[in-house]
Amino acid sequence: MDALAPAHPTPMMAQYLEIKTANPDSLLFYRMGDFYEMFFEDAERASRALGIALTKRGKHLGEDIPMCGVPVERADDYLQRLIGLGFRVAVCEQTEDPKEAKKRGAKSVVRRDVVRLVTPGTLTEDALLEPRRANLLAAIARGRGEDGGFAFGLASVDVSTGAFSVGEVPVAGLGAALARLDAAEVLVPDGMIEELGAALGDSRAAVTPLARDLVDSARAETRLAKHFGVATTEAFGVLSKPELTAAAAIVGYLERTQLQNLPPLSRPAREGRGAVMEIDAATRANLELVRRLSGEREGSLLDAVDACVTAGGSRLLGQRIAGPLLDPAAITRRHDAVEALIEAPELRRFVRQTLARAPDLARAAQRIASDRGGPRDLAAIRDALGAAQALAERLATQRDAPDELIAIADALSAADHALALDLARTLADELPLLKRDGGFVRAGRSSELDAARALRDESRKVIAQLQAAYSDATDVRTLRIKHNNVLGYFIEVPQQHGERLLKPPHAETFVHRQTMAGAMRFTTTELGDLERRIAEAGDTALALELRIFESLVARVKESWETSRACADALAALDVAAGLAEVAVDLGHVRPHVDESLDFALEGARHPVVEAALKREGKPFVPNDAELSAPDGDGGLIQLVTGPNMGGKSTYLRQAALCAVLAQAGAFVPAKAARIGVVDRLFSRVGAADDLARGRSTFMVEMVETAAILNTAGPRSLVILDEIGRGTATFDGLSIAWAAIEHLHEVNRCRSLFATHFHELTALAKRLPRLRNATVRVAEWKGEVVFLHEVAPGVADRSYGIQVAKLAGLPPAVVRRAKAVLDELEAHDRASPVERMIDDLPLFAAARKAPEADADPAVEALDAIDPDALSPREALEALYRLKGLRSR
């Protein structure tokens, strides 16, 4: 920046350069009147990113200074676009009144300073946030964990609500933990970014390097305790060093970026190891749990089951689906709440109707407590607390309510309902967006404010009354009180009457100001005082309103903790009621979840595919899945064969999604479900290349498969689709073969394995926990009909040519393909595989081949001494050997 500085910068530009130098990594929004201006390289970058005009202002070193700006009123729109493009923005505001600056001299510059750094993880404004998605800021720190080994501390905070959590994850589990959080921004110690490239690469988050002082474990506990005003962090429970360091890093980062308006945070809640199902990034992407591969929410599992009527409820449901529980007791509590609301339709209807009128309490209270809110945020708090009170009263009438609903009712009852009443008495019916616009306080709330407003709004009436009084006192019926920008308010009378006002007794009241052609102008002390009061009335009214606003803000800050708890309770109630509504509307059932290794689904359906077919007026064909561990000795592997387009991938995915829903606390799309807790979920369904990392499609497939085979355990659920199809036929078959054996003997997990290698079905003869299943099809007049039914058995063929025909391949290509297939099938390809099943041992060196019967030709050859034979005898011996060999 120094190289760009003017040789002799103006005072304003000198101020700009000083502030910009202190914020080199951010675009500087420099407030000038009604615009945020940018200069130099910032202006050029912003102009390209936002598509706005680049202009000029002054010169430096003989060159024009590039400049562009955005209106303050529309700043949020531009900030949203810049943050989405990966920029950080430093917002520089005027910190004093321009009138005060003028008092220091005509050339004095208004004081300005950066009041906030806007980054992807620190947003609070509604315009910058997705209402139904949490916006998390995460931090990573490494150190000795609670078990003495190295681990990562992972802290996260939603700055828009204040929710703060911290946990410890093993080194190998960092990628899965980051994928679950799906943070908008991740803070990483500067020296670890390259090392953690793989884990960070699977995340969509913006990565921000942290200076060493923010990840200093020695000072972490002190920083955290000071921020929360406690003597020791033991108040938060027992936190390991990595957890303390990560939590303190978030606090330090917020202190540096939020500056004057540090948002309040809840005390960090610790998440114990093994509290939620581990799902790696690839599996989340394959199953499209909370968003599709394209990034859209629509078409995901979350979208299919989200019937929440509040933004907070949708955010909570998304978090639950992203991190299904492992504790059957906690899962049961959630199921109990859903079931209670299913069995009480009138209560469920009342709950949903009342919640639909409840604004986003968590985010509104956070904006107010961060001094970034406006009158409409206060109204949102008022309405949300009012809804909470109504819900608490209704829930209190429920007999035999489950524990979850009782806890929700208690939190709703504990909210500050007196604040809601005060807000209702204070706020007007129609509210401005910004407090500076005024008009948000209800008439009658303050007599002083009402008087100021009357003077401001009824100035014409007051002037008319004074004009009438003067007219009567002077007996001049043509006397008028007028106003212009030069004189302000003045009294105007015709010339002949003006001369009379210059003489006693009127001269003591009326002061001459101006003589016009045919008229004279006067003022009075009373009129001057009235003019001043009228001019000040608007400012006085606004100042009084702002004083009332600040008193309400103080009330909100005092009750922030109870408001946060109330917001959490409203969200939990919304989730339970929404899931109950989904269960009733879509025929979902309560799953039985326990500590066993069972996995049995009866009539299961894929919720997303079913919803899509329903829109088209088509039925979904349900199917059973049985992977329960026989006698507790490892889970079953179901090997599924059948044609493309037959529904194999849907069948695999729906089993995994049922497990996610069940452990998230939802009912599942099935007739019945029995699920032993799944601690890890693995899915490899479909793949694409990863050119950024130099990986082909097959390489991606193998990396994901390797992760599964290396880490899956008996409690895992594994779904694999078409392993080995990305390479040569026998290579792929060999890899799939070995993978099945490994799953069976080493991982011993519950697994669904779809394949087009029909040869693999022969493994069921020797692997006791392997079951064959096939997707049924029918042929009618040469056409293939997909029945989408999964039944025990083996597919006789893949029907690939029929699918290709349906896809529209040219008839000539289809005919040629069928001819080639007939030729290939003329050779018996199955017989070598059958021999392999008998000859290849499982996980052992190849057996030594049994000795064959003695060969007479070999025995005769061994008896010959070639050195003792004459040429004739040698020739005879050769003929004898040939005769023996031909027998």
772 three-class SS: strand
DSSP 206: E
CATH of 449-546, one of 3.40.50.10860, 3.10.50.40, 3.40.50.2300, 1.10.1420.10: 1.10.1420.10
Q: What six digits make up the tokens of 610?
A: 């079913």
Strand 511-516 and strand 488-494: pairing? unpaired
Kindly give the residue spans of alpha helices, DSSP state H, lying in 229-280. Answer: 241-258
Paired residues of 775 in beta bridges:
790
Supply the pLDDT for residue 773. 94
Q: Is 724 annotated as a binding residue?
A: no
Q: Residue 30: which H helix or E strand, with range?
A: strand 27-32
In CATH, the architecture of 592-795 is 3-Layer(aba) Sandwich (3.40)
Report the amino acid identity of residue 801: I
Nearest 5 degrees, angle CA 315-CA 268-CA 376? 45
Q: Omega before 268 cis (within 30°)? A: no
Of residues 750, 749, 756, the one with CA closest to residue 774? 756
Question: Phi and psi at residue 782, in whole multiples of 5°?
Answer: 85, -5
Q: What six digits make up the tokens of 165?
A: 């959590």
Do 2-118 and 449-546 share a fold?
no
Of residues 675, 634, 499, 580, the one with CA closest to residue 313? 580
Q: Is 108 annotated as a binding residue?
A: no
Domain residue limits, the chain:
2-118, 130-273, 306-416+559-586, 449-546, 592-795, 856-885
Q: Residue 719: which H helix or E strand, with range?
A: strand 717-721
Q: How many CB atoms lie within 10 A of CB 413?
A: 17
**Whole-angstrom distance, CA of residue 796 vs CA of residue 830:** 12
- What is the distance, to the nearest Å, from the Cα of residue 602 to the centroid of all Cα atoms in its chain? 33
Q: Residue 547: which H helix or E strand, with range?
A: helix 525-558
Q: Is 644 annotated as a binding residue?
A: yes
**Whole-angstrom distance, CA of residue 493 vs CA of residue 483:** 14
The sheet carrying 672-676 orders its strands as 592-594, 672-676, 599-604, 623-626
End-to-end Cα spacing for the chain = 96
| Residues composing the chain | 887
Of residues 153, 163, 156, the one with CA closest to residue 189? 153
Supply the pLDDT for residue 691. 46
Supply the pLDDT for residue 192. 87
Tens-digit pLDDT profile for residues 179-238: 999 999 999 998 888 888 878 877 778 899 988 888 888 888 999 999 998 888 888 888
Kindly give the residue spans of alpha helices, DSSP state H, lying in 559-692. Answer: 560-586, 607-615, 648-664
**Whole-angstrom distance, CA of residue 101 vs CA of residue 109:** 6
DSSP string, 456-499: HHTHHHHHHHHHHHHHHHHT-TT-EEEEETTTEEEEEEEHHHHH
Of residues 348, 498, 376, the one with CA closest to residue 437? 376
Asked whether 251 and 185 are in contact (CB, 8 A), the reply is no
854 three-class SS: coil
Q: Is 272 annotated as a binding residue?
A: no
* Exposure of 447 in the CB half-sphere (CA atoms within 13 A): 0
CATH of 2-118, one of 3.40.1170.10, 3.20.20.70, 3.40.50.300, 3.10.20.30: 3.40.1170.10
Of residues 123, 631, 188, 590, the one with CA closest to residue 402? 590
**Whole-angstrom distance, CA of residue 269 vs CA of residue 261:** 23
Q: Hey, CA dihedral for 701, 706, 707, 712, is it positive or negative? A: positive
Question: Phi and psi at residue 795, in whole multiples of 5°?
Answer: -70, 140
In CATH, the architecture of 306-416+559-586 is Orthogonal Bundle (1.10)
Distances (CA, A) of 422 to 359, 436, 544: 18, 21, 17
> Which regions of the chain are under pLDDT 70?
1-8, 60-62, 686-696, 728, 781-782, 796-798, 824, 827-859, 861-863, 865, 867-869, 872, 875, 879, 881-887
Q: Is 646 annotated as a binding residue?
A: yes
Tens-digit pLDDT profile for residues 348-357: 999 999 999 9
Fold of domain 130-273: Nucleotidyltransferase; domain 5 (3.30.420)
The sheet carrying 511-516 orders its strands as 480-484, 488-494, 519-523, 511-516
Q: What is the per-residue burial (b if ≥16 Cβ within 10 Å, else e) of 329-352?
A: eebbbbbbbbbbbbebeebbebbb
Q: Is 623 annotated as a binding residue?
A: no
Q: Is 648 annotated as a binding residue?
A: yes
**Whole-angstrom distance, CA of residue 478 vs CA of residue 493:** 6
**Whole-angstrom distance, CA of residue 224 vs CA of residue 249:** 9
Supply the pLDDT for residue 536. 83
203 three-class SS: coil
Strand 27-32 and strand 592-594: pairing? unpaired
Q: Is 38 annotated as a binding residue?
A: no
Q: What six digits make up the tokens of 274?
A: 């093994």
Report the amino acid identity of residue 843: F
